[in-house]
Amino acid sequence: MRRDIFQAIADPTRRAIITLIALQAMTPNAIAEHFDTTRQAVSKHLRILTECELIKQEQKGREIYYQLEIEKMKEIDKWLEQFRAIWETRFNQLDNLLTDLNGKKKK
């Protein structure tokens, strides 16, 4: 079943897993050590993230390592870009307003 990436990142545990493996690949057991939940629950989150192609598995010897799929993360960033432009415009407007108000106070 193909899952939506935005449903996947809606869960705080899955976002935490993404953050954990952003810098280095980790085994499921190493990931599970960071959570106060069962290994099975972490495995379910890993499966969902894998199905969404946000992370990928790599077999190294007898161990499986999970690592972040950067290209899929770019898809999220691309979607957020439309909002980033709106936020920046509003912040700039607020900054200009505050500058004007501060200038009037000093006079």
CATH of domain 1-68: 1.10.10.10
**Sequence ranges of the domains in the chain:** 1-68, 70-107
**54 within 8 A of 8, measured Cβ to Cβ:** yes
- What's this model's pTM, rounded to 2 decimal places? 0.76
Burial of residue 90 (number of CB atoms within 10 Å: 0-12, 13-18, 19+): exposed
Residue tagged 């957020």 (tokens):
80
Regions in the chain scoring below 50 on pLDDT: none
- Amino acid 1: pLDDT: 55
Instruction: Give me the count of residues in the chain.
Output: 107
Query: What does the pLDDT look like over 27-39, one tens digit per residue?
Result: 999 999 999 999 9
- Give the model's pLDDT for residue 63: 94
Give the model's pLDDT for residue 66. Answer: 97
